[in-house]
Every structure is written in C-alpha cells, then in structure tokens.
C-alpha cells in the first residue's frame, strides 16, 4: 500500500491535504476504535489540518497517561496483596496496606478469603488430613490467582478513581477547553461479602468505564469511553535444585525408639545395624533374645541398656557387614567411626592421641602397641551395651568387639562366648563367668584381642590362655606405655558416652529422642489411618499393629510403626524398619538394609521426604549418574510460585469509543 505523506502546515492551503483531511474526518467521525495510549497521540503531521483537534487529543492523551499512573498504583497494590499472601487471612487488619485500600476492606477481604478457602485450600486437602496435595494446589491456585487478581485490582481502582479529576486541583483545564468525566460501574465492589456469588462478580471490559467529553474552540468536541481492564499475569514456575541428605535413622536395618525383642525358637538373619534407642534405665533390657533363638547379624548391635538372653541353646553371631552398601552412613559420619563429624565433642578427651590414632585397624596408630578404643562401625561386628548377660546353657555367642558399661556376665553351663578382637569395660568393668552351681562344666570366655577394664572386678572364667593381651585400666598395664593411656576415672567414663550417643542419639548428639529424627504427621489421616498415596513407598503400621509375612513374602519398602509393632511370619524385608515404640519379631525373618530401596522411596515420595526431613545430616546423596559417570547430587524441579508472577498483558485500559465532532 502506498502511503500519503503530508507536509506540516498550520494553514492547510494544499488542495491534496484538504481532500485527505475531508476523507479522514468522514472516516473517523463515528468509528469506534480500540487503541492504547500510543494510538491516541496523533502524529504532528496531522496537526496541520486543524490545530483545535490536535490540542483536544493531546489533552486527552495526557489525561489517559495520568489515569494509567493511578491504575499502575492499583496494580502494584494487588501484587503486594498476593506477595504477602493476605488471601489466607479471614480477617486481615484493615489498617494495614494493601487491605486498607480496598473499596470496602472488610467485605472484600472476606470475599477473597472465602474463595481461596473453598476453591483452593479445602479442595486440595488430602482426605482426613490437613495436608495439601501439592500438585493439585498449584493448579487450582493459578486459576484462583488470575480471577482474584482481577477483582482485587478492580476494587482498588473503584476506590482510587472516585472523584477522579484531571488535571489535579493544583492545575487548571486550559481556558479554551471544557472537560466532563463520568465513571460508570455495572458492578460495585463496595458491597461484596464472603457469601456473594464469585462468578457474578466476574468482570468484563465493559463493567467499569470512564466516559469523557472535551469541548474546544468553535464547537469542536472530542468524546470517548475508556474501559478499565486488569493486566494479565501467569504464576511463574520457580526453578530450584533439590538435594537430599541422609538421615542417620534410615542408615540402619532396624531402629526402635523402645526395646527390641527376638522371640523364642526363631531364626533371624539381619544385614545392617540394629539399634534400641531406649533411654538408659537401671536394669532395663534394651535387646532381648528368647529361648533357642538364632541370630546372624552382619552389622552392629547397639543399646545403652542391657542385652539379655533367656532360655537356652542360643546361637548369636555379630559379624562384619559383608558387602552391604553403606554409602549413606559414610556420608553422615564421614568415616568417623559412627560419629557425626560435626560433633567432635563426643570423642574421648585423651591427652595425647587423636581419635584416628586410636581406632581399630588404624594405619597410623599412636603407639606400636597401642590399644584401640574406638570401633569402626562401617566394618560392623560391634556390640555396645550396658550389660551383656546370659543365664542360659549351651549358648554360642560370637562377636568382633564389645564395649560394655557394666560387664559381660555368663551364668549357666556349656556356654561359649568368643570376642574376636576387643572388649572394653568402661564402668564397673568386670568380666564375669560364674559356673552354674549344678554343673561341673566350665564356661569359656575368649578374647582374642585385649580386655580393658577399670580393675574393680574379677576375671572369673576368663581364659587367659586364649587371650593375647589383658589390660587393667587403673592398675599398672602390661606391654604398653603409660604416658598416654588414661588413668583418670573421669576419662574412662567418657567411653560411657560413646555407648549412650551411639544408641540414644544415633551418633550425632543432640536431643535423645526418636522424634528428633522423624515427623510422621503427614503419614496418617485424622482418623489415624495410613494415607493411600504414601503406602507404595512406606508400609505404615499403626501402634500395636502387626506386619505378617506369609509364605516367604518379600517386601521392598520403608516399614514405619507409629508406636510398638510386631513383625511375624516367614519372609524378608528389604529397606529399613523403624518404630517409635518397641519392635517384636516372631518367626523366621530376614531383614536387609537396602539403600537403593530407601533412597528411591525418598526421591519419589514427598511423604518419605517429609518423614525424614528433621534428621537430615551430612553431605548430599547421589541422585543419579551423568553420561560421563559423574555423581550428581542435585535435581532441578519446577514449581508454581505464588510470589513470582509474570505480566503477559501490558494494557490497563482499552479505548472502546473515540469520536470527533
């Protein structure tokens, strides 16, 4: 299309210009246009045909510019309302912006809150809980945001434009012009309330208009209608990088907040650590073995209370971990012998050696003949307890290391207790094997490494011929330099804390409670039933409930008990078993700590993430491996963010009528 170029001329004497202007006047005289402010400002080249119309439109453009500034303030207030999440409050303080800027603060606040509560909050609650379905909430919130934003913006605009004047009172309308402004509202937000129909208060571009008429010289007149429209926004996807850190509670095979019972005449095979977190109480059994029970444990057996064997003919072996993947435990403890690297204060405060110099199998021991005092739990085969006691006959017990606060006590006939490496008695420190008074058989206690105690107890039944070294902590030791080995009872009792902290705080210190490691509020409904969405990854057992394994059944899951639970039957569980109360085992049961099962559940289930969130420790877990074989410890995820929004429509009003007469 060829464009006609007009030369600027105030007199308009050109014949061509007269023809063009005539056509323009005829064409534009009664045509309604939809245009923005940039459309309103007429080109200076048109000024030449009639300076009066140019001045009227220039004045109108300035008026709309002022209107836009006022609407921008309304828009900013609406954004501020959402950023402060005031829609969540039923009765927000009407003296606080931006609520106070509503046309009617109290009624509008109830109107908005009621809609959010019913269409978003209540509509996305998981039945029987107070927890939202995150994905459903995000979807419904985005719809609510755009609808509510429009209504909030209009309410602000109605109040802001009451008595709208242009120019302001300080300025004057030019003497040669006369301005008339009229606000027209088909919907009034001064009367809405929480029970008003949300849809009826939906807005279109014709619901809120400003009509104006500007009169100029010689009867020239410019009139128009401007419809107030809300700018359009979308909620942004916020991009964040998710990392997961291990929780020491799930780096074990079995953890009970109370006691652990292995009932009679059953076989148990366990791969991973077994911990009773029960607080240390006098004469309390933390781990119990019934008559003729058989346990082969590849891991560590830990309690700050007693380990007791009842009945007879037990067969208990505590051995090395035997190839179990323990990367998560290593990330928690950083290879520090079962202690959190951030809690160095739980190490014994020995005068000269450093902790890594007194650990078993240390490559750089403090002395050539030094005796290790710290066991490496990653290797496994260690027992920590107050008293290891058996009053049985024909028991066979074998372990790598044992640390006791009281003693190892073996009563009864034909019992064999073998400690392959080291026994440390930290409290009264006796190792006692008392012959059954009705039997002439001698019990046998073998320690292939060293026996260390405080010298208060005797060594009844201790087979020195089967032990390489016997050391008495507070008497003159043999084959060892005394300049570093502790001779102070306070330092000896520091070793008691090793047992306490490994058991009651899982080696990380802090609060002695299982509640500091888990939060199970999101796993159950208000009626106490497990949430179905969580069941595929977490086998939830109610307090005093039973999980029965049938016909060799194999379960791959996180098993969680809200209180005391029973595991019975014949089968296997791969993953981890955790209970806030006691755990009782009945039957022939295999339990294997499985990091893959646990980590997949945590990565895939928000319920598992929430369950273990309180106790996260150590460095980030590996979530995947990239194409080059490198470990990746983060994962990008996109979430709707109610506080981050994207403006996709720039206009705040539409010109729906524009007439020159």
Encode pLDDT of 538-590 as tens digits: 999 999 999 999 989 999 999 999 999 999 999 999 999 999 999 999 999 99
Mark whether 224 and 318 lie in a shared domain.
no
- State the average pLDDT over residues 418-439: 57
In a domain, 227, yes or no: yes
Q: Are residues 55 and 200 in the same domain?
A: yes
Q: CA-to-CA distance for 585 and 546, rounded, in angstroms?
A: 10
Last residue of a domain, one of 468, 494, 520: 494
User: Helix or strand or coil: residue 219?
Assistant: helix
Q: Model pTM? A: 0.61
Burial bucket for residue 133 (CB in 10 Å: 0-12, 13-18, 19+): middle
Q: Which domain holds residue 314?
A: 304-494
Instruction: Give 458 or 317, the one with higher predicted confidence.
Output: 317
Q: What is the pLDDT of residues 254-300, one digit of tens each?
A: 999 999 999 999 999 999 999 999 876 666 899 999 999 999 999 99
The reply to whether 230 and 310 lie within a common domain is no
pLDDT of residue 236: 58
Q: Which of 459, 494, 529 is the last residue of a domain?
A: 494
User: Is residue 215 domain-shared with residue 328, that is, in the same domain?
Assistant: no
In a domain, 36, yes or no: yes
Average pLDDT score over residue span 18-23? 30
Q: Are 531 and 126 in contact (CB under 8 A)?
A: yes
The answer to whether residue 654 is domain-embedded is: yes
For residue 604, the model assigns a pLDDT of: 83
One domain for residues 228 and 347? no
Q: What is the mean pLDDT of residues 307-327?
A: 90
45 and 187 housed in the same domain: yes
Q: Which DSSP helix (H) or strand (E) runs through 134?
A: helix 134-160
Q: Is position 466 within any domain?
A: yes
Q: Are residues 178 and 75 in the same domain?
A: yes
- Which of 389, 473, 467, 459 minimizes the C-alpha distance to 424? 473
* 199 and 327 within one domain: no
Token pair, residue 572, equals: 């296997």
Q: Is the pLDDT of residue 632 over 70?
A: no
Domain tally, the chain: 2
pLDDT at 434: 46
Asked if residue 26 has pLDDT above 50, the reply is no
What is the distance between the alpha carbons of residues 161 and 258, in angstroms, rounded to a whole number? Answer: 68
> How does 54-67 read in b/e, with b if 16+ C-beta sit within 10 Å?
bbbbebbbebbeeb
In-domain check, residue 94: yes
Are 198 and 318 in the same domain?
no
Lowest mean pLDDT among 45-59, 134-148, 523-537: 45-59
Residue 89 lies in a domain: yes
Residues constituting the chain = 661
Name the more confident of 156 and 584.
584
| Residue-level pLDDT at 79 | 84
What pLDDT digit, counting tens, does each position of 365-405 carry?
655 445 566 788 888 999 999 888 887 888 899 998 888 88
Average pLDDT, the chain: 75
The encoded tokens of residue 295 equal 């346990």
394-403, 485-494, 614-623: the lowest-pLDDT one: 485-494
| Main-chain dihedrals φ then ψ at residue 389, nearest 5 degrees | -130, 135
What confidence tier does 139 reach under pLDDT thresholds 50, 70, 90?
confident
Q: How far apart are the first and last CA of the chain?
A: 29
For 629, counting Cβ atoms within 10 Å of its Cβ (0-12 exposed, 13-18 middle, 19+ buried), the class is exposed
435 has a pLDDT exceeding 50: no
Residue 661 to residue 659: CA distance in whole angstroms: 7
Rounded to an integer, what is the distance from CA 81 to the centroid of its chain? 27
In a domain, 444, yes or no: yes
Let me know whether 325 and 472 are in one domain: yes
Residue 410 covered by a domain: yes
351 with 226, same domain?
no
How far is 61 from 41, CA to CA, in rounded Å? 6
Range list of β-strands (E), 353-510: 382-390, 396-411, 416-425, 430-434, 444-447, 450-453, 469-472
For 83, residues 6+ apart whose C-beta sits below 8 A from its C-beta are 643
Helix (H) and strand (E) counts in the chain: 10, 28
Express as a percent the part of the chain with pLDDT over 90: 21
Better-predicted residue by pLDDT, 53 or 591: 591
Backbone angles phi, psi at 248, to 5 degrees: -55, -25
Looking at the structure, tell me whether residues 321 and 453 fall in a common domain: yes
Q: What is the DSSP letter of 320?
A: B
**How many angstroms separate the CA atoms of 271 and 608, rounded?**
22
Residue at which a domain ends, from 440, 471, 494:
494
């Amino acid at each position: 299309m060829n464009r006609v170029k007009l030369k600027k001329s105030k007199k308009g004497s050109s014949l061509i210009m007269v023809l063009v202007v005539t056509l323009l006047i005829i064409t534009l005289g009664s045509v309604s246009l939809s245009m923005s402010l940039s459309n309103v400002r007429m080109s200076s080249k048109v000024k030449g045909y009639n300076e009066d119309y140019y001045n009227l439109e220039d004045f109108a453009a300035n008026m709309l510019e002022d209107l836009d500034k006022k609407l921008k303030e309304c828009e900013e207030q609406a954004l501020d309302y959402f950023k402060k999440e005031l829609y969540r409050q039923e009765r927000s303080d009407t003296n606080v912006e931006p609520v106070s800027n509503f046309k009617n603060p109290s009624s509008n606040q109830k109107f908005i809150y009621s809609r959010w509560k019913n269409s978003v909050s209540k509509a996305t609650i998981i039945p029987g809980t107070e927890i939202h379905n995150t994905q459903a909430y995000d979807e419904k919130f985005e719809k609510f945001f755009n609808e509510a934003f429009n209504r909030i913006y209009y309410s602000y605009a109605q109040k802001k434009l009451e008595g709208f004047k242009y120019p302001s009172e300080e300025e004057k309308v030019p003497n040669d012009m006369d301005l008339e402004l009229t606000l027209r509202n088909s919907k009034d937000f001064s009367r809405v309330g929480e029970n008003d129909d949300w849809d009826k208060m939906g807005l279109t571009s014709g619901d809120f208009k400003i009509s104006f008429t500007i009169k100029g010289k010689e009867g020239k007149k410019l009139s128009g209608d401007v419809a107030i429209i809300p700018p359009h926004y979308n909620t942004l996807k916020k991009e964040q990088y998710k990392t997961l850190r291990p929780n020491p509670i799930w780096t074990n095979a079995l953890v009970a907040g109370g006691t652990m019972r292995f009932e009679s005449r059953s076989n148990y095979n366990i791969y991973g650590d077994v911990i009773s977190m029960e607080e240390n109480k006098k004469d309390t059994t933390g781990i119990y073995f019934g008559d003729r029970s058989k346990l082969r444990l590849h891991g560590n057996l830990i309690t700050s209370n007693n380990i007791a064997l009842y009945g007879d003919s037990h067969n208990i072996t505590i051995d090395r971990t035997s190839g179990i993947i323990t990367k998560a435990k290593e990330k928690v403890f950083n290879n520090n012998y079962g202690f959190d690297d951030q809690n160095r204060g739980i190490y014994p405060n020995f005068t000269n050696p450093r902790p890594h110099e007194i650990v078993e199998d240390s490559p750089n021991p403090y002395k050539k003949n030094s005796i290790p005092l710290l066991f490496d739990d990653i290797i496994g085969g260690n027992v920590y307890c107050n008293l290891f006691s058996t009053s049985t006959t024909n028991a066979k017990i074998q372990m790598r290391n044992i640390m006791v606060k009281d003693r190892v006590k073996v009563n009864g006939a034909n019992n064999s207790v073998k400690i392959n490496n080291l026994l440390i008695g930290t409290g009264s420190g006796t190792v006692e094997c008392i012959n059954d008074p009705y039997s002439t058989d001698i019990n046998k206690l073998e320690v292939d490494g060293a026996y260390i105690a405080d010298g208060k107890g005797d060594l009844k039944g201790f087979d020195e011929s089967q032990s390489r070294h016997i050391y008495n902590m507070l008497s003159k030791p043999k084959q060892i330099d005394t300049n570093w080995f502790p001779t102070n009872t306070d330092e000896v009792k520091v070793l008691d804390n090793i047992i306490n902290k490994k058991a009651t705080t899982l080696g990380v210190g802090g609060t002695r409670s299982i509640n500091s490691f888990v939060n199970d509020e999101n796993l159950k409904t208000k009626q106490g039933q497990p949430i179905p969405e969580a069941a595929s990854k977490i086998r939830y057992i109610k307090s005093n409930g039973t999980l029965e394994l049938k016909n060799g059944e194999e379960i791959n899951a996180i098993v969680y008990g809200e209180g005391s639970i029973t595991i019975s039957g014949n089968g296997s569980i791969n993953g981890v078993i955790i209970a806030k109360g006691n755990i009782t085992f009945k039957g022939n049961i295999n339990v294997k700590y499985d990091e893959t099962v646990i980590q997949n559940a945590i990565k895939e289930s928000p319920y598992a993430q929430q369950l273990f969130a309180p106790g996260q420790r150590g460095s980030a877990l590996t979530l995947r491996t990239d194409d080059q074989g490198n470990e990746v410890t983060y994962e990008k995820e996109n979430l709707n963010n109610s506080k981050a929004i994207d403006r996709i429509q720039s206009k705040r009003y539409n010109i729906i009528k524009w007439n020159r007469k």
